[in-house]
Structure 1
């Protein structure tokens, strides 16, 4: 049964603020789609220029930076969204930059003395000459996070889209340029990543300073900075631990696979992980960032917040379920066609992790609800649970010296944990459990026919990888077309985006 037009309009407006939420998501998602599209288009070239071992070592470097970057500002960047006045927000931004600078310096000192031991532990001695770039990358990430949320506060989401595209073009150009010139090394990949991050940060900083130079400049007044940091100290005292634990648990497979196996295995995992988390990067992060701004506005209106959370969950399930099923069924063939026969192993990893990706995709954007409601202690407890289950899964699996078992246990525990986290967020937002199950059942029934056709084709007829590839693309495209024709709410959700270009 479909909703009437007035009911649908009310739902869309209460969920998205008369289309503002949806338009802002499309701005972010549009930039993410283009940026990730560029990355995806060059990935088959990069995978043929660089070896899995080289990509694996670079991924260890990025993992180290990623773990530390989430606490580079002690999570005060999230607090930029919350003050009533821009002056107060500028004080938080200034304090975040100062904290990022101090932590970067401390990291440089620690790595100067402890770098050899770290690379020995991770079995990556070839990474030692590049460890000095870790604090550099951290500081750039700190500035990026501040400018990212400053632009989000002012609802300049279009700037974030432009920055994403510039970063993707910079990184991809550097990777290919170095690769075709015969410099397909770990250093080239690390340098390309630094260049892309710098470009991203530079665009956001320039745009922010153009419109807010005086406000940001006046924010660098120590008494006001200290007042602001004290007001939002829960971000540093509680949420920073949650962020660190989350980042550590997220990067744990890379580091433990490096320790248990080889850089080649890490390279396979890196590519599969990049592909399966692409929907999260494309859509989930965009929804999460705009949802944070929206949830902060609706903190005092539980009914509207509940409606918004329910609609966001519905969109995430509708968009994410079938791609996860297709990847689980045909990941091996998809990777062979797109990335080359050397990466078939990565496709098998993607098949193992496919369903985990779906639960991650639906839970991560909703997890931003806790900081928006200043309930960081709940998020911290959950992140500790996630970390402990991941350590247990990877340790038990690693003891078998079988990477398939490692990834299988990792995926299974991830499904349980992220499924539980989603239900908990729904409870906090006062979304009835019956609504959650109804949404899951609704889109499972819609996705299964398309997934079943692909599964029967693969098992019964043993077609060529190219035919499976075409069938997979057709299944996903047909599913989305079906949703647009049958789901009135989703169709009107897209209609609410029609004038997004008019929003600055």
Structure 2
């Protein structure tokens, strides 16, 4: 046992994985603890508006630097890394400026598409939310570049802790959507302020490299990574936009609570398994490609066993549990959880092994599957949107189909690799 602990703490990769996973797990616990308090302060309608606002910010925030931030960790030369860091800030500023101009001139038309007039009074804050979201992403990659994994881990944890705490404090003062948004942004600003100095890459040299040349050198990130991430995020946020368009913000608030509670098991269990599987699969693929398939099957089986009982419990007991913890007014969230649990279960059994495509260098297939998911979800939800129950089942059905197909492609590819290397 002592040797095991010694190996874990001396192994740099495993130690870093534990640091990153621990913050994610504690963030999930923080959300679970604070949600019952937040739901007593804010109405379902307020939380629905907040979810809609955050979904819009997230959709644009993940690509606000055109994914150039991912390139921060790549260059061997610190001078190049410094230029990439500056490029990210420049792109982020330009992106948010253009977004602000577009919203200024076409705000009503854009919000009307998803029936988001309810957030029109604070929609001018969206570019600011996107900016701080994008800034936090740049800072995190800067920390990764410097191998400051503890700081990276703490930055994420502080962001969640401060945002969730401030929602309660601001809510007690004045329970409005502006209070929720202010808490969200303040959390990002607080975490960013703590670590921006450590993340900045500064090199004193007389050598100059054009930022334009750097942008061209890493052009694959805006050309390929940005569309893939945007499509994936849009696919994930589609239910929010459909519920906002065809139903009330109150229903969206019930969905928000249901969704946040359902992803807690994924956060607590799936994150750690994801990191360990990725490391083990990468190592196995380099040493003996044939053994990746058994590893994938074994990991998937474990995920099914781990998730089966909790999700069955959710399907059977969620309305009663929600009523006890959150009150009768939130019972609808429990009913939504019953329907959505099936799809989330398949997501739980797939997400940790989803990195297999990266391991075997077949990321393009993951991108095509993401596009398939986007069109499938849109088509199914559009066809069944007339009834709330039908729409929720459409979300679950499309999610289930997507992840079953995802598993199918992983299995087929790994089987082919095993056959070719036998």
Q: TM-score, normalised by structure 1?
A: 0.73
- In structure 2, what is the equivalent of residue 196 of structure 1? 187
Q: How does 1:359-378 map to 2 (within 5 A)?
A: 359-368=346-355, 370=357, 375-378=362-365
- In structure 2, what is the equivalent of residue 135 of structure 1? 127
User: In structure 2, which of residues 138, 144, 163 is the aligned counterpart of residue 171 of structure 1?
Assistant: 163
> Is structure 2 residue 322 aligned with structure 1 residue 330?
no
Cα offset, 1:226, TM superposition: 4.0
Ranges in structure 2 where 5+ consecutive residues have no aligned partner? none
Ranges in structure 1 where 5+ consecutive residues have no aligned partner? 435-504
Residues 332, 347 of structure 1: 8 Å contact kept = yes
SS in 2 for 1:131: helix
- In structure 1, what is the equivalent of residue 379 of structure 2? 392
Distance 2:155 2:225 in 1: 27
Residues 62, 229 of structure 2: 8 Å contact kept = yes
Q: How does 1:36-435 map to 2 (within 5 A)?
A: 36-181=28-173, 183-209=174-200, 213-215=201-203, 222-223=209-210, 225-285=211-271, 288=274, 303=289, 306=292, 310=296, 313=300, 316-368=303-355, 370=357, 375-398=362-385, 401-428=386-413
Distance 2:279 2:80 in 1: 17
SS in 2 for 1:80: helix
Residues 146, 199 of structure 2: 8 Å contact kept = no
Distance verdict in 2 for CA 1:373–1:119, change over 3 Å:
same
Cα offset, 1:370, TM superposition: 4.5
Q: How many residues align?
A: 414
Distance verdict in 2 for CA 1:421–1:137, change over 3 Å:
same
Distance 1:185 1:219 in 2: 52
Deviation by residue 1:136-190 (Cα, 9 ceiling, x = unmatched): 1112122222222232344432222212232222112221112222x11111111
Distance 1:286 1:144 in 2: 22
- In structure 2, what is the equivalent of residue 488 of structure 1? none
Cα offset, 1:421, TM superposition: 1.5
Cα offset, 1:116, TM superposition: 1.8
Moved more, 357-366 or 289-298: 289-298
Distance verdict in 2 for CA 1:240–1:37, change over 3 Å:
same
Residues 309, 366 of structure 1: 8 Å contact kept = no
Distance 1:288 1:107 in 2: 34
Residues 274, 353 of structure 2: 8 Å contact kept = yes
SS in 2 for 1:132: helix
Cα offset, 1:80, TM superposition: 3.2
Deviation by residue 1:313-358 (Cα, 9 ceiling, x = unmatched): 5664454343223222222122122222111110111111112112
SS in 2 for 1:71: coil
Residues 32, 283 of structure 1: 8 Å contact kept = no
Residues 27, 157 of structure 1: 8 Å contact kept = yes
- In structure 2, what is the equivalent of residue 454 of structure 1? none
Distance verdict in 2 for CA 1:334–1:375, change over 3 Å:
same
